Amino acid sequence: MATKPSKELEIFANPHPDRDYTIEMECPEFTSICPVTGQPDFGTIRIRYVPDQQCIELKSLKLYLWSYRQEGAFHEAVTNSILDDLVAACAPRQMTVVGDFNVRGGITTVVTAEFARAK
């Protein structure tokens, strides 16, 4: 498995696809680049999901989140992009991604993006 930032997300078979249960993951050292200033933006990414047939492998998630350290994007774009990529990788029953970004210019930003499979 790679040890460099990567957009490749790995998955594994859900050991209990017959049951709804919640997986919560947190990356308290998330970094991206402000597209306006070029300065780093720091924050915490929280992921909460109910898996279906597949789960997200944690090391690949870490490397995926590291890949944003070199990307310029607004907080709203980053949070929604993470949600889109994770949903595409594991097709969960439900997922929420929260980007809780540190203060910049006296303002904190919290972005919540959600996905729910149609029933």
List the 23-33 sheet strands across, edge first. 23-33, 40-50, 94-104, 107-116
Is 90 a catalytic site residue?
A: no
Please pick, among 18, 20, 27, 34, the residue that the annotation labels catalytic: 34
Query: What's the CA gap between 73 and 71, in Å, rounded?
Result: 6
Cite the DSSP H helix spans in the chain. 58-66, 75-90
Taking alpha carbons only, the member of 40, 32, 109, 102 closest to residue 73 is 32
Beta bridge partners of 42: 31
Is 18 a catalytic site residue?
A: no
Please pick, among 27, 41, 55, 100, the residue that the annotation labels catalytic: 41
Catalytic residues: 34, 41
